[in-house]
A and B are shown apart, each in its own frame.
Chain A
């Protein structure tokens, strides 16, 4: 789960991370007032979940409260296009108004999971403001790494070593070490999967602050983090994905026109892959769950066909514990119940009682296109999508 920058900063402040002073608002007039309170100069930052906001024109310096009002008025309500939003952009509903600070250095720090080590890891680099992937590609040696014992957090000497590695000294190094330890504390205490501060600011006066903040959370741990769940902003998420979540379906919208419904995440990915291999483009990822019950199939189907881009549907189910003929009856029942299905539907069933399953499909009033293997299914659905039937 993702949250906004201003929310991440709230969490981080509560754990002792220094951040610039500021407030969030959806009102240009309030932006001017906040700017006034901050001393008449401020930064106006669009609050959307996607990154790269500066590049898209969503972060601007205002030299007066009047300018803050004018900039906020322009940014609020705009569809901000960044490298991460896609061409349609994301509607800006709120701006964060923060004090403008003098910048001596911009650094990078993050806390994330090192899957290989099986531990959290702090990464730091002196190249703040740059994407860490870019730094990693250009000069991997420039990234400092510090594994964290999850039960201990970042130990003081580890924080000092990182600060030193970033070229900090004296009181500033002490402040940085303290901030890093607080950052790891916040990561561990909230079941975060990522905390990223880019840039971490060193001011002319030697203070160290989180100028930007990004946090994402382990979806599996949300059951015990109600304070994090309360920060969820559904308006930032794809409407169809939110709808799918209500039915416990695992759905991700993609750009193609072939909808697919599959049981199991691995098989669902493999189905998307084989569609592409045969020259088609998947419209989505959708895992209906291992058992593929009639209810799940029905809800999934309704969701898939509500995507206007879809030209054909591929249902790929491996009947394991649940017998194939039962699943076939579920698919037929779901389509009958939905009524007015006009899209071509290719069904590939495999597993136990597969012959009976295919027979159920052939006998159904709805004209399914029955496929025998994954390759056959991919070929048929790509042809059906092209035919526009």
Chain B
């Protein structure tokens, strides 16, 4: 199984006629995602990605039209930062169930408005400033390289992009496949939290364990650790990037800043340890620590041991 993204996903790409939008819409389609529509205001009626024997993706002027015509149930946003908040709210107003916003650099004030708007709508927002979501072997919504993933039983949650790929690649090379990998994004205000993803994984019987990759800044990792301690008994491997980051400096991601002595890597790692997570000091050990944790778990609860290929060493 998987969470949120699967063979039933029908994707609309907002900003599909831009360079990035086109490239990644087609990459998602190549991976197996059903990309049913694109939206660019003023470009309705055109198509994207048409070639010999392959039908193009129809482009609409609005998400509502795309939804009415194609029954799209998920959106991926590549709209530039000044207009991205509007794009998120447009997909929510059209009742799209899942919206993944890739755009980096949206003003915080815009996201505060989005947050308030989404409270009255059924849409789950993932991101912004995130790599997206992939359920390996089924579908992907995002910019991650599909081929480094492999289907399996490890859930991955992360605030960053390439560091997630690093973790996934370690898992794949150890023979540990992934159920779903969710990049929640590196901004201070985002749509989906660690806890939201953890809850979804907890409800997925095929997710046997979770790799959770946090960053300095905020307190989302501490809250997630507390949730895990109270609610989740499968193994969780945790890492926090940014222990060497000096306070008050923004480390690339808008959210990665140690403010007022809070949000440090040391505090987050301590909270994760206290909650029983397998905390790794070295980002090079994410994969092997997960492999060991799964082995230990299976030794304890042999009945639960299902379907991860070659988890015992690869």
On chain B, the residues within 8 Å of A113 by CB distance are 108, 188-189
Q: Are A116 and B252 in contact (CB under 8 A)?
A: no
CA distance A219 to B188 in the complex (A): 13
User: Is A61 interfacial (CB-CB < 8 Å)?
Assistant: no
Known: A265-B160, A321-B145. A115 touches B189 (CB 8 A): yes
CA distance A231 to B222 in the complex (A): 37
Q: Are A223 and B283 in contact (CB under 8 A)?
A: no
User: Is A150 interfacial (CB-CB < 8 Å)?
Assistant: yes
On chain B, the residues within 8 Å of A169 by CB distance are none
Q: How many of chain A's residues have a CB under 8 angstroms from any CB in B?
A: 55
User: Is B156 interfacial (CB-CB < 8 Å)?
Assistant: no
On chain A, the residues within 8 Å of B216 by CB distance are 269
Partner of A252, one of B106, B215, B249, B284: B249
Q: Which of A62-70, A274-282, A298-306 contacts B (4 or more CB under 8 A)?
A: A274-282
Q: Are A119 and B107 in contact (CB under 8 A)?
A: no
User: Is A266 interfacial (CB-CB < 8 Å)?
Assistant: yes
Q: How many of chain B's residues have a CB under 8 angstroms from any CB in A?
A: 63
User: Is A382 interfacial (CB-CB < 8 Å)?
Assistant: no
User: Is A220 interfacial (CB-CB < 8 Å)?
Assistant: yes
> What's the minimum C-beta distance from A268 to chain B, rounded to whole angstroms?
6
On chain B, the residues within 8 Å of A137 by CB distance are 261
Q: Are B242 and A273 in contact (CB under 8 A)?
A: yes
Q: Are B145 and A266 in contact (CB under 8 A)?
A: no
On chain B, the residues within 8 Å of A270 by CB distance are 163, 166, 239, 241, 283
Q: Are B254 and A277 in contact (CB under 8 A)?
A: no
Cβ < 8 Å to A, chain B residues 121-168: 143-145, 147-148, 158-166
Cβ < 8 Å to B, chain A residues 238-277: 250, 252, 254, 262-277
Give per-residue flags for A156-175: 1 if the beta carbon is below 8 A from chain B beta carbons, else 0: 00000000000000000000
User: Is B82 interfacial (CB-CB < 8 Å)?
Assistant: yes
Known: A191-B108, A269-B251, A285-B245. A264 touches B162 (CB 8 A): yes
On chain A, the residues within 8 Å of B213 by CB distance are 266
Q: Are A352 and B252 in contact (CB under 8 A)?
A: no
> What's the minimum C-beta distance from B6 to chain A, rounded to whole angstroms?
22
CA distance A263 to B252 in the complex (A): 11
> What's the minimum C-beta distance from B258 to chain A, rounded to whole angstroms?
11
Q: Are A267 and B162 in contact (CB under 8 A)?
A: yes
Looking at A115, A265, A267, A272, the one whose CB has the most chain B CB atoms below 10 A away is A265
On chain B, the residues within 8 Å of A220 by CB distance are 81, 105-108, 254
Known: A151-B116, A220-B105, A321-B27. A118 touches B163 (CB 8 A): no
User: Is B302 interfacial (CB-CB < 8 Å)?
Assistant: no
Partner of B115, one of A118, A268, A276: A118
User: Is B219 interfacial (CB-CB < 8 Å)?
Assistant: yes
Q: Are A266 and B107 in contact (CB under 8 A)?
A: no
On chain B, the residues within 8 Å of A350 by CB distance are 166, 169
Partner of B256, one of A119, A263, A265, A275: A265
Cβ < 8 Å to A, chain B residues 161-191: 161-166, 169, 186, 188-189
Q: Are B109 and A188 in contact (CB under 8 A)?
A: yes
Q: Are B243 and A273 in contact (CB under 8 A)?
A: yes
CA distance A353 to B82 in the complex (A): 36
Known: A321-B143, A374-B284. A263 touches B162 (CB 8 A): yes
User: Is A356 interfacial (CB-CB < 8 Å)?
Assistant: no
Chain A: which residue is nearest B281 at the CB level? A277
Q: Are A269 and B108 in contact (CB under 8 A)?
A: no
A-B complex: 5 closest residue pairs judged by Cβ atoms: A266-B160, A265-B252, A264-B162, A266-B163, A221-B107
- Identify 7 new A-B residue pairs, CB closer than 8 A, beyond the known A115-B188, A268-B251, A269-B252: A116-B220, A120-B112, A224-B82, A254-B246, A267-B162, A267-B163, A270-B241
A-to-B contact residues, CB < 8 Å: 84, 113, 115-116, 118-120, 132-133, 136-137, 150-151, 188, 191, 193, 218-221, 223-224, 250, 252, 254, 262-277, 282, 285, 287, 290, 318, 320-321, 350-352, 373-375, 378
